[in-house]
Amino acid sequence: MKDVDWGQYTAVLIRTTWDYQKRIDEFLEALTHISTKTKLFNSLETVKWNHSKDYLLEFNETKTKPVPTQEVHIIEKGDLFKLFERLNSEQIIIKPFISATAHDTFLLNKNNWEESLDEIIRVNQKKRMMVQPFLENIQKEGEYSLHFFDGEFSHAILKTPKEGDFRSQEEYSSNIQTVNPDQTMLNFAHEVLAHLDDKLLYARVDFVRTETDDFNLMELELIEPSLYFAYGDGSAEKLVKALIKRIS
C-alpha cells in the first residue's frame, strides 16, 4: 500500500475497512498520506473524529441524545458494581471506544457481572472503555440504520438480534429488513448529521427507540464497510452518483 501512487487517482473512497480498529495507528497514518495526494471520502478530519466513539460524549451535550455514555476505568470489582447505580439500570453494556462488530463488548446484569470482571479489567488495561445502560428495546424492536449519500436519504433497515442475543450485527445472525422511516426518524437522523460541519459523502445513522418513544443515537458510522446496499434499491448507484458529483 505504501508503494501505491495515490496521486494518479482522482479520489479515494474508504470501503471495507473491516480491521481498522485493530490497526488504528497504521490506518490513520495511511489515510493521512493518501489525503496529501488526492481527495479522500469521507475526509481525514471526519475519520479522525469518528474512529473512536468519543463523539458520543459530544452528543451527550446536544438535544440529539445518544444512549447515555460515560468513560470507565475498571480496576477492581467495586468500580464495576457501582455502574449499575450510576446509570440507574439493571443491565449495562461495557465496550471499547475503538471497536467494531461487538468485539470485547460485555452485557452485564447484577447477577452475572462477576463472571466477566477479570476479562473486563484485562481489556481495560489495554483499551479505553465506555459504559452505557442497556436499552431493552434493542431486543424487542431492534436498531434502525438510516443511510445518507451526500446528505440525501437513501434507504433504511431495521436490525433485530436473534432470540437470546443482544448484538444486532449481521455476523451474529440478526434479522435485517428494509423499512420505510417515518418523518420523526428522518428528522432525528438529519439533526444528528447537522452536528458535523463537514459535508459527508456517506453516513449511516444508527439509533434505537426509547421507552418514551423518542430515539437515542447508537452510532454514527462514517468509516463504514456495511452500507447495506442489498436492502436499498439503487442505493449503490446513488453513492456512485454522489461521488461523481463531488469529483467533477
Residue type, 220: L
| CA 218 vs CA 53, 110, 189: distances in Å | 10, 23, 11
Question: Any idea which residue has 439503487 for its cell?
Answer: 234
The residues, ordered by sequence, that sit 6+ positions from 105 with a Cβ below 8 Å of its Cβ are 93, 94, 95, 99, 167
CB 59 within 8 Å of CB 217: yes
In the prediction, which pLDDT does 199 show? 86
Of residues 161 and 236, more confidently modeled? 236
Using alpha carbons, select from 49, 46, 61, 52 the residue that is nearest to residue 13. 46
Residue 145 in domain: yes
Question: Any idea which residue has 454522489 for its cell?
Answer: 242
Final residue belonging to a domain, choices 118, 133, 148: 133
> Which residues make beta-bridge pairs with 176?
159
**CATH number of the domain to which 173 belongs:** 3.30.470.20
When divided into structural domains, the chain yields a total of: 2
Of residues 53 and 199, more confidently modeled? 53
Final residue belonging to a domain, choices 133, 157, 187: 133
Q: What is the mean pLDDT of residues 20-41?
A: 93
Residues 152, 230: one domain? yes
Residues 160, 114: one domain? no
The residues, ordered by sequence, that sit 6+ positions from 102 with a Cβ below 8 Å of its Cβ are 95, 167, 169, 171, 172
Q: Specify the pTM.
A: 0.91
Residue 225 in domain: yes
Residue 24 in domain: no
The residues, ordered by sequence, that sit 6+ positions from 49 with a Cβ below 8 Å of its Cβ are 55, 196, 222
Residue 156 in domain: yes
pLDDT digits (tens, 9 = 90+) for 151-169: 999 999 999 987 666 665 6
pLDDT digits (tens, 9 = 90+) for 179-196: 999 999 999 999 999 999
pLDDT digits (tens, 9 = 90+) for 73-112: 999 888 888 999 999 999 999 999 998 666 788 999 988 8
Residue 43 in domain: no
Q: Rounded to the nearest 5°, which phi and psi values hold at 84?
A: -65, -40
Q: What is the mean pLDDT of residues 116-134?
A: 93
Residues 145, 216: one domain? yes
Residues 231, 187: one domain? yes
* Structure confidence at residue 170 as a pLDDT band (50, 70, 90): low
The answer to whether residue 113 scores a pLDDT higher than 70 is: yes
193: containing domain:
138-243
Residue 104 in domain: yes
Residue 38 burial (CB count, 10 A): 15
Question: Any idea which residue has 445518544 for its cell?
Answer: 66
Residue 225: burial class (beta carbons within 10 Å; 0-12, 13-18, 19+): middle
Residues 239, 142: one domain? yes
**CATH number of the domain to which 86 belongs:** 3.30.1490.20
